Amino acid sequence: MINRLTKRACVYGPLFAVAIVFAMNAEMAAQGRGGGRGGGAPEPPAAPTPRWPDGKPILGSVPGQPVGGWGAGVTTLPRGQKLEDIPFQPWARAVYDIRQIDQFEPHTRCKASGVSRQFSTPYGTEFVEVPDLKRMYIMDNGGPNSYRIIYLDGRSFPANLPSTNYGYSIGRWEGDTLVVETRGLNEKFWMDTRGTPHTAQLKFIERFTRSDMNTLKYQATIDDPGTYTKPWTTTDFTLRWRPGDELFEYICQQFNQGPELMLGSQDEIDNTRFFVP
């Protein structure tokens, strides 16, 4: 057996070495043509922020141009900050810590997950603005494949809002920044992929700024006296424009066969509960 392997190594070894050298040369040649990250010309500057006739920034696709979407840009809301600086109530910090270990997120079970969680799906998010209706739809592809409505008509929050996964979102413009406040959120979802906790007392304020054609700055303020001792604000997240990124049919269903993809290293799912949460 060993002899046979030795013979094969002797026969194929030199051929393999030649193939590696050839491949390396090809790669180096490609980099020399500007195909590599380090040696090429810098990317041309992005086009300026597209605007509607009234001057307001267009946050989604530009009429007359190919449809596109925003790539995932929000990972964990405390990103870039020390966890000690996040004003968790003690129970909330413990819940956050345990969610770093038990990553059984509702989104992986097809549950609609609102606010910033809409900007974490690998398939991107599409903004559909309807100026005539004074509203915008934020559609997250993947997961439950659903949408959130942002009302832009100057309305106030209704009294006795029911609690829902997406809540009730009202937006207003502050210069070139769209400020969206969402209330009426329930506790059936995580706000981000890492399980930053919240309660139904949450008021979630988002700031969207399209600084150029390809860049959307996103920042959120979490005002939830049920979970935090005071409101706190995230650092800026950056979402990148993906031209040609169109919504597609995505079927999310229970009992999928990819738990290792959706739950990281957590390889077992406890299905002993009678009702699936």
Partner 1 sequence: MTLMRALLILVVCALATPIAAQEGHPLTGTWYGEYEVGKQKRDLTIIMKWDGKQATGTMNPGPNAVPITSAVLDITPGKPAPEGRDSTEGVPPIFKVRIEAGGQVFEGTLQNPVAGNRRITGTWMRGAERGTFQLRRL
Q: How many residues bind partner 1 (CB under 8 A)?
A: 37
SS3 content of the chain, % helix, strand, coil (to 5): 20, 25, 55
Q: Which is nearer to partner 1, 43 or 267 (CB)?
A: 267
Return the structure tokens found at 231.
Answer: 């409101």
Q: How far apart are CA 117 and CA 189, in angstroms?
A: 9
Residues 68-107 that bind partner 1 (CB under 8 A): 90-91, 93-95, 97-104, 106
Q: Which is nearer to partner 1, 99 or 134 (CB)?
A: 99
Interacting residue with partner 1 among 35, 66, 80, 225 (CB under 8 A): 225
- 73 within 8 A of 218, measured Cβ to Cβ: yes
How far apart are the two ends of the chain, measured CA to CA in Å? 55
Interacting residue with partner 1 among 129, 197, 208, 234 (CB under 8 A): 197
Q: How far apart are CA 268 and CA 163, in angstroms?
A: 31
Q: How far apart are CA 45 and CA 26, in angstroms?
A: 29
Nearest to 117 by CA among 194, 223, 221: 194
Distance in Å, CB of 120 to partner 1, minimum? 16
Q: Interacting stretch for partner 1, rule CB under 8 A, among 74-82, 121-129, 210-218, 269-277?
A: 269-277
Question: Which residues bind to partner 1, rule: CB under 8 A?
Answer: 90-91, 93-95, 97-104, 106, 186-190, 195, 197-201, 225-227, 264-266, 270, 272-273, 275-277
